[in-house]
Amino acid sequence: MPVELAVTLIRAVNTHTLTREEIDALLQTEGEQAKALYRAADQVRAEHLGEEVHLRAIIEFSNYCVRNCLYCGLRRDNRLLTRYRMAPEEILAAARQARDEGYWSIVLQSGEDPAYTVDDLAGLIQRIKEKLDVAVTLSLGDRSRDDYRRLRDAGANRYLLKHETADPALFARLRPGTTLERRLQELRWLEELGYQVGAGNMIGLPGQTVETLVSDILLLKDLCVEMAGIGPFIPHPDTPLATSPAGSLEMTLKVLAITRLLLPHTHLPATTAVATLDPAGRRRALQAGANVVMPDLTPAPYRQHYDIYPGRGRPAGEGAASFAWWEREMAAIGRKVAIGYGHILRDDGFHGVVDGHRRPC
């Protein structure tokens, strides 16, 4: 390995800083050099977060969407998709099932679906928080500041709103009718409202350059996010990007690893997309900086219709909804499943019950 690269990695492990040029060089590494990057990220993860992997049970409660994102199978113009909406009672039942399984943390995700009013959602969150002892993450896309406030007041702890790409022109092209500027504004609102905030991006979007990925990583550092979902783009046959190639696993792992070097306390999931791309993807992500897994607890028959990209599915069929299955899976790679809500403590102490984590940066 060139001495320069070794020095860069040692400094990044110790100071969590990298210049644009250094990030660019790390993204171009291959073979043994890329492995050294993954090892450095794994070291930072072990040092700051230990061997614990947080499980977040995701419930995808509606696949209706008013948006028309060029990359996504749920886009409005995809007429081939069977649409569904779960009733609040069904969502509550799915959350209870997740809690009964042993999960302490649930994620409610959907397309952008205004059929659920803010009152509906706030009522649902309130009931979940009253009846079940779980942390609640929302991933519902763009909403007004007032809606975000109402949902936070109802008890939501976290909000996952990926910035998708740090290139404003690419963002506007891939997400018609929306802007990166507005998304960044929303991320600031969420932060102000006391949510633990998650952003993140896709790797391998058509029109994306290495330079864009450097900006993605620096943006995550700048925002000092508490979560970052980093996953490959996977083409969906019923979208305008059907013939574009998928993002590469290696590039995804490099972006993930560099993000870990810069953000030692941030929750970084081994995304479902990375597991979809390659059977070894999840394990490799967990050994390149990731410390979170998001098992899909969406009940049948809905789960198969949450077709954001093809090939999503449980790694070992039905078994993979179970907490015990994940305990075994993590033990096999020398890790253990975390018990508790998996909060990060911020300086303002806003998040109430904490598990001894420090601020992400």
Candidate residues 141, 198, 269, 360; the one interacting with ligand SAH per rule CB under 6 A: 141
Q: Is 337 in the site for ligand SF4 (CB under 6 A)?
A: no
Q: Is 166 in the site for ligand SAH (CB under 6 A)?
A: no
**Rounded to the nearest whole angstrom, what is the least distance from the CB of residue 37 to ligand SF4 in the complex?**
29
C-alpha 87/C-alpha 330 separation (Å) is 33
The answer to whether residues 136 and 157 touch, using CB atoms and an 8 Å cutoff, is yes
Q: Is 164 in the site for ligand SAH (CB under 6 A)?
A: yes
Q: Is 141 in the site for ligand SF4 (CB under 6 A)?
A: yes
Candidate residues 143, 150, 162, 351; the one interacting with ligand SAH per rule CB under 6 A: 162
With CB under 6 A as the rule, give the number of residues binding ligand SF4.
Answer: 9
| Residue closer to ligand SF4, measured from CB, 66 or 320 | 66
Handedness of CA 227, 231, 237, 239 (dihedral sign): positive
Question: Rule CB under 6 A: which of 82-111 touch ligand SAH?
Answer: 109, 111
Residue 75 site contact among ligand SAH, ligand SF4, none (CB < 5 to 8 Å, cut-off depends on kind): ligand SF4
The answer to whether residues 361 and 265 touch, using CB atoms and an 8 Å cutoff, is yes
| Residue closer to ligand SF4, measured from CB, 29 or 201 | 201
Candidate residues 37, 111, 158, 223; the one interacting with ligand SF4 per rule CB under 6 A: 111
Chain-centre distance for alpha carbon 86: 22
* Three-state secondary structure of the chain: CCHHHHHHHHHHHHHCCCCHHHHHHHHCCCHHHHHHHHHHHHHHHHHHHCCEEEECEEEEEECCCCCCCCCCCCCCCCCCCCCCECCHHHHHHHHHHHHHHCCCEEEEEECCCCCCCHHHHHHHHHHHHHHCCCEEEEECCCCCHHHHHHHHHCCCCEEECCCECCCHHHHHHHCCCCCHHHHHHHHHHHHHCCCEEEEEEEECCCCCCHHHHHHHHHHHHHHCCCEEEEEECCCCCCCCCCCCCCCCHHHHHHHHHHHHHHCCCCECECCHHHHHHCCCHHHHHHCCCCCEECCECCCCCCHHHCCCCCCCCCEEEEHHHCHHHHHHHHHCCCCEECCCCCCCCCCCCCCCCCCCCCCCC
Q: Is 83 in the site for ligand SF4 (CB under 6 A)?
A: no
Candidate residues 16, 67, 127, 305; the one interacting with ligand SF4 per rule CB under 6 A: 67
Q: Is 231 in the site for ligand SF4 (CB under 6 A)?
A: no
| Residue closer to ligand SF4, measured from CB, 123 or 177 | 177
Question: Rule CB under 6 A: which of 112-131 touch ligand SAH?
Answer: 112
Calculate the alpha carbon distances from 324 to 58, 272, 327, 331 in Å.
Answer: 16, 19, 5, 11
**Rounded to the nearest whole angstrom, what is the least distance from the CB of residue 188 to ligand SAH in the complex?**
16
**Rounded to the nearest whole angstrom, what is the least distance from the CB of residue 144 to ligand SAH in the complex?**
15
**Rounded to the nearest whole angstrom, what is the least distance from the CB of residue 175 to ligand SF4 in the complex?**
6
Candidate residues 40, 193, 234, 337; the one interacting with ligand SAH per rule CB under 6 A: 234
Q: Is 74 in the site for ligand SF4 (CB under 6 A)?
A: yes
**Rounded to the nearest whole angstrom, what is the least distance from the CB of residue 233 to ligand SF4 in the complex?**
11
For residue 348, the tally of other CB atoms under 10 A from its CB is 8
Residue 139 site contact among ligand SF4, ligand SAH, none (CB < 5 to 8 Å, cut-off depends on kind): ligand SAH
| Residue closer to ligand SF4, measured from CB, 241 or 330 | 241
Which of 76-84, 159-167, 181-189, 250-258 is the region at the interface with ligand SAH (rule: CB under 6 A)? 159-167
Which of 25-33, 100-108, 124-132, 161-169 is the region at the interface with ligand SAH (rule: CB under 6 A)? 161-169
Candidate residues 58, 69, 154, 262; the one interacting with ligand SF4 per rule CB under 6 A: 69
Residues in touch with ligand SF4 (CB under 6 A): 65, 67, 69, 72, 74-75, 111-112, 141
